[in-house]
Amino acid sequence: MKRIVILIALLAGFVALPVAGASAASPQVVYNAIPLPLPPNVASVGFEATSTAQFGDYVHLSGTARTLNSVTVTMSDWAVYSDYSTDVRYSQNNATWTQPITINVYSSHLGANGAPDTLLATTTQTIVIPWRPAADPTCSPSTDYRASDGQCDGGIAFNATFAMSSPKVTLPNDVIVGVAFNTADYGATPVGKVGPYNSLNVGVPTGQTASVGTDDNANNVFWNTSYGPFYTDGGLAGVGIFRQDTDWAPNGTVAFQITASSPTTSLTAAPQLVEFRPFAGIGSQVVQATLTSGGSPVSGATISFSVGSTPLCTATTGLNGVARCFISPSGQAKVNQANSYTATFAGNGGYLASQATTPEVVLF
């Protein structure tokens, strides 16, 4: 009786232990239209100058990673510190200033007036922005500055990155990304006062193409301006609506990048129980593992079972995420010798790989 109690305690210990292996997600670039290297400045759209509340583009993502991680936008700042050195909001820092900027990610489905009608993810973050260098009187116009390449420019290009990994959002293959912020007179909540945000623009580099993924149409953008004549159709399809606008080439690819991760997986291998009844494990000559992602079972995945470099069998996970197969007597002998076996998911369909090794429990 005493021996039985000890054996059951040993078995319970094995069952309670998490015999699992989890994969780690690493972000991948799934769309990229940011110029590399970043030039001193790029062609851009000024929100205050064009009565803009939101500006963006419709793109197609590459690869299979679809868990949103970040969005980076190339912007152009034309604001000079000397113009705001007496403004108490900015007078303490002659190197940078800050501005809340919103990134909206929509599905490609369009509703009324051609506006995207499904918001997938949004974030508003305070971005640190460099002041544009002071004007060089030898430039023409004299309000420009002389950039690092020796050329005269009106603005300074920079990249603003927005973390968007929480809450977790799974992207479709096609998305519309919009950039929004307030200026003195435009935006969701106009500031009502002149500031450097009036000189903040979103980049549309001339002739830019996507190096990863594809722009849906390099002649089109998505735009919300409250001044109808700025739209190619003169505002006939609506004004102050984030909708598609045409005739933008060669500046119809908005400069942004999207990174995403593949969903992580966790594989749990079930311990074998040999020479003991009733079974609390899965029994001799049977191997089994459960694949999950975010706590939910992953079905239709191929799981390979092995001992060291010796394959045992393969099985496909069912709706419950469980893969199970029988192994040959020679395979079982390998398991007995190693006192363990390994379950491996190589990754597919956008899910990352994972692996787990479990002990064989032999009771006499």
- Tens of pLDDT along the chain (364 residues) come to 322 222 222 233 333 333 455 555 689 999 999 999 999 999 999 999 999 999 999 999 999 999 999 999 999 999 999 999 999 999 999 999 999 999 999 999 999 889 999 999 999 999 999 999 999 999 999 999 999 999 999 999 999 999 999 998 999 999 999 999 999 999 999 999 999 999 999 999 999 999 999 999 999 999 999 999 999 999 999 999 999 999 999 999 999 999 999 988 889 888 875 544 444 445 678 999 999 988 889 999 999 999 999 999 999 999 999 999 999 999 999 998 998 999 999 988 678 899 999 876 654 4
Residues 296 and 251 in one domain: no
Measured in degrees and rounded to the nearest 5, phi and psi for residue 66 equal -135, 5
d(CA 285, CA 159): 57
CB 73 within 8 A of CB 259: no
Going by C-beta distance under 8 Å and a sequence separation of 6 or more, which residues neighbour residue 315? 302, 303, 305, 323, 324, 325
Instruction: Give ∠ CA 290-293-297 in degrees, rounded to 5.
Output: 45
Residues 249 and 226 in one domain: yes
Residues 195 and 317 in one domain: no
d(CA 347, CA 341): 19
Boundaries of domain holding 54: 28-261
Each residue of 3-40: b (16+ CB within 10 Å) or e? Answer: eeeeeeeebeebeeeebbbbbebebbbbbbbbbeeebb
Residues 211 and 330 in one domain: no
Closest of 104, 133, 154 to residue 258, by C-alpha: 104
d(CA 13, CA 11): 5
Out of 261, 291, 325, a domain closes at: 261
Q: Look at residue 5 and tell me if it is in a domain.
A: no
35: enclosing H helix or E strand: none
How many independent structural domains does the chain possess? 2
d(CA 361, CA 364): 10
Query: Which DSSP state fits 348?
Result: B
